[in-house]
């Protein structure tokens, strides 16, 4: 979009948001939902009851918002994205301040309309959009001990004096060869390429457009093939979830109904992080995959072994950029954002103070100095979109993934051997039966309890991260 088109685009999006909101909050819809709820025979059907429950939730949340606010948010966030792009390019946070203040003020109004849950805080109203039923206090109770132990782990790794050889990851491999390798990996992990595809974009994503149409994208760097590999595995995890939801070939014809949708961003993220990190960064994965690279990359990795690859892709090194962070430090980046947006929303911190508070936390939590706003508080697009309450779901995804993984390894004792042979069908089927097929039937916390027999904690993730650090760094 040309820069000069931004203002008109914002007006267009505002109008579309207004029209959609008016239609979605028609009183007739509420009457129909109420009629369903009052029909005991109808509600005895679990599938129908789940759909009605979710229709009610969505309708009630929408009707709490005045159309004028919905329109203002759509218009403002569209404008904010353009201002953010320019501010980020110039590393000039001050130029973004007025717009970000407006975004947070409108978001506060939205949260106030939703209402603060009993005993909760304003942040909970927004978090509920992305992780239904979760509260800031619950997340803090998980994050706080995790933060302390991660900080200690990072310090032990830094003091170990060991530095895995990562030079083999810099092998020059053309994009077309990486793409062919990625396609092979997708087939191996049972992503259905007749019902999806892999393409190239500037930022990887997954879109489940319709039954039989799940789109994955990745990006290629000739000088570091693992960026695309892990980006592909990550998005494929999302894609397998989309393909496994009830809408995918469901005899019940559930497409378009809430039951055919993912329950939360945290659960969705658990699937992507599981395939990316727990599968793709394992020693067993490279025992299988490394010999196959000869077919696709020639001798580019001839000096590598499964063990050296395992060590290279599991380094722990504090850095500035969240999306480039390693598995061991990634969650610290998320926690910084959770703390800051929570403070900004409550009003205990001013938007103008964001760079100072951001930089302080990066120094305290990760030991790194932030040189400029571009690599600091302007690096993420989320706040310009108004996605406040979104960031915690990234770490929730890691927590769910690790806890699910421990249960999977108990229930599939031969899993390591299967991965080492490139056999992923039983793992995919376990995920489909335990998670994917349920859609929105269960809330995320209930799903976790049903699968693992206990509520979500930080323990499994720390066992995983500390185990890999011991393997790679001896600490």
Q: DSSP characters for 383-447?
A: GGGT-TT-THHHHHHHHHHHHHHHHHHHH-TTHHHHHHTT--HHHHHHHHHHTGGGTTSS-HHHH
- Of 54, 82, 131, 235, the catalytic one is 235
**Residue 135 placed within a domain:** no
Cα(311)–Cα(305) distance, rounded to whole angstroms? 10
**184 and 295, same domain (yes or no):** yes
Domain boundary (103, 126, 151) is at: 103
Q: pTM here? A: 0.94
The pLDDT, as a whole number, for residue 248 is 63
Q: Which helix (H) or strand (E) holds 198?
A: strand 196-200
The pLDDT, as a whole number, for residue 40 is 97
Contact of 390 with 265, CB cutoff 8 Å = yes
Instruction: Please measure the distance between the N-terminal and C-terminal CA atoms of the chain and give it in whole angstroms.
Output: 50
Count how many domains the chain has: 2
Contact of 226 with 234, CB cutoff 8 Å = no
Per-residue pLDDT of the chain (475 residues; tens, 9 = 90+): 787 888 999 999 999 999 999 999 999 999 999 999 999 999 999 999 999 999 999 999 999 999 999 999 999 999 999 999 999 999 999 999 999 999 999 999 999 999 998 889 999 999 999 999 999 999 999 999 999 999 999 999 999 999 999 999 999 999 999 999 999 999 999 999 999 999 998 778 898 888 889 999 998 988 899 999 999 999 999 999 999 998 766 666 678 899 999 999 999 999 999 999 999 999 999 999 999 999 999 999 999 999 999 999 999 999 999 988 999 999 999 999 999 999 999 999 999 999 999 999 999 999 999 999 999 999 999 999 999 999 999 999 999 999 999 999 999 999 999 999 999 999 999 999 999 999 999 999 999 999 999 999 999 999 999 999 999 999 9
Cα(107)–Cα(3) distance, rounded to whole angstroms? 25
Q: What is the CATH number of the domain that holds 251?
A: 1.10.1370.30
**Residue 140 placed within a domain:** no
Cα(219)–Cα(238) distance, rounded to whole angstroms? 16
**Which residues span the domain enclosing 179?**
167-325+392-473
- What does DSSP assign to residue 280? T
The pLDDT, as a whole number, for residue 130 is 95
Cα(406)–Cα(419) distance, rounded to whole angstroms? 15
**Residue 265 placed within a domain:** yes
Describe the strand order of the beta sheet including 213-218 as a list of residue ranges: 196-200, 213-218, 206-210
**Residue 399 placed within a domain:** yes
Cα(344)–Cα(362) distance, rounded to whole angstroms? 17
**213 and 289, same domain (yes or no):** yes
**397 and 282, same domain (yes or no):** yes
The pLDDT, as a whole number, for residue 323 is 86
Our separate counts of H helices and E strands in the chain read 20, 3
The pLDDT, as a whole number, for residue 251 is 62
**Residue 295 placed within a domain:** yes
Cα(456)–Cα(446) distance, rounded to whole angstroms? 10
Contact of 108 with 122, CB cutoff 8 Å = yes
Cα(156)–Cα(326) distance, rounded to whole angstroms? 16
Cα(143)–Cα(278) distance, rounded to whole angstroms? 20
**88 and 201, same domain (yes or no):** no
**Residue 363 placed within a domain:** no
Query: Who's near 68: CB < 8 A, 6+ residues apart?
Result: none
Domain boundary (85, 103, 121) is at: 103
**Residue from 54, 33, 34, 118 nearest 442 by CA:** 54
The pLDDT, as a whole number, for residue 247 is 79
Contact of 344 with 354, CB cutoff 8 Å = yes
**Residue 401 placed within a domain:** yes
The pLDDT, as a whole number, for residue 250 is 65
The pLDDT, as a whole number, for residue 249 is 62
**465 and 319, same domain (yes or no):** yes
Domain boundary (103, 127, 148) is at: 103
**88 and 218, same domain (yes or no):** no
**Residue from 83, 38, 77, 33 nearest 59 by CA:** 33
**426 and 291, same domain (yes or no):** yes
Residue 76 phi/psi, 5° resolution?
A: -65, -45
Residue 197 phi/psi, 5° resolution?
A: -155, 165
3-state secondary structure of 214: strand
**Residue 161 placed within a domain:** no
Active site residue 235: yes
Provide the pairing of β-strand 206-210 with 196-200.
Answer: unpaired
3-state secondary structure of 200: strand
Cα(191)–Cα(471) distance, rounded to whole angstroms? 30
């Amino acid at each position: 979009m040309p820069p000069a088109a931004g203002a008109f685009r914002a007006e267009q999006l505002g109008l579309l948001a207004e029209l959609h909101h008016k239609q979605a909050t028609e009183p007739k819809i509420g009457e129909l939902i109420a009629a369903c709820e009052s029909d005991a025979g109808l509600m005895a059907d679990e599938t129908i009851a789940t759909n009605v429950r979710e229709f009610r939730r969505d309708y009630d949340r929408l009707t709490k918002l005045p159309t004028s606010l919905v329109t203002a948010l759509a218009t403002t966030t569209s404008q904010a994205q353009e201002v953010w792009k320019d501010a980020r390019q110039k590393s000039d946070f001050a130029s973004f301040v007025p717009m970000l203040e407006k975004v947070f003020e409108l978001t506060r109004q939205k949260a106030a309309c939703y209402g603060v849950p009993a005993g909760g805080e304003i942040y909970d109203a927004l978090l509920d959009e992305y992780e239904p039923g979760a509260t800031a206090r619950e997340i803090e109770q998980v994050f706080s001990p995790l933060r302390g132990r991660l900080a200690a782990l990072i310090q032990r790794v830094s003091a170990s004096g060991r530095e895995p050889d990562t030079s083999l990851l810099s092998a020059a491999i053309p994009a077309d060869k990486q793409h062919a390798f990625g396609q092979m990996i997708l087939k191996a992990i049972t992503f259905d390429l007749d019902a999806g595809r892999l393409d190239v974009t500037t930022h990887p994503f997954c879109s489940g457009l319709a039954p039989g149409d799940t789109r994955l994208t990745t990006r290629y760097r000739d000088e570091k093939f693992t960026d695309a590999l892990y980006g592909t595995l990550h998005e494929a995890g999302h894609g397998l979830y989309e393909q496994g939801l009830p809408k995918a070939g469901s005899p019940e014809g559930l497409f378009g109904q809430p039951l055919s949708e993912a329950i939360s961003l945290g659960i969705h993220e658990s699937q992507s992080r599981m395939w990316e990190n727990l599968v793709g960064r394992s020693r067993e994965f490279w025992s299988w995959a490394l010999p196959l690279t000869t077919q696709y990359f020639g001798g580019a990795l001839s000096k590598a072994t499964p063990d050296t690859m395992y060590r290279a892709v599991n380094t722990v090194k504090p850095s500035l950029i969240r999306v480039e962070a390693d598995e061991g430090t990634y969650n610290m980046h998320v926690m910084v954002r959770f703390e800051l947006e929570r403070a900004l929303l409550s009003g205990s911190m001013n938007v103008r103070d964001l760079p100072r508070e951001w930089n302080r936390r990066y120094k305290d939590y990760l030991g790194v100095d932030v040189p400029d706003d571009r690599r600091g508080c302007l690096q993420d697009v989320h706040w310009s979109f108004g996605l406040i309450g979104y960031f915690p779901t990234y770490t929730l995804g890691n927590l769910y993934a690790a806890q699910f993984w421990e249960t999977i390894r108990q229930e599939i004792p031969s899993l390591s051997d299967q991965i080492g042979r490139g056999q992923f069908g039983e793992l995919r089927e376990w995920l489909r039966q335990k998670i994917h097929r349920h859609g929105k039937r269960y809330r995320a916390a209930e799903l976790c309890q049903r699968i693992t027999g206990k509520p979500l904690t930080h323990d499994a993730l720390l066992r995983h991260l500390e185990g890999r650090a011991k393997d790679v760094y001896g600490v």
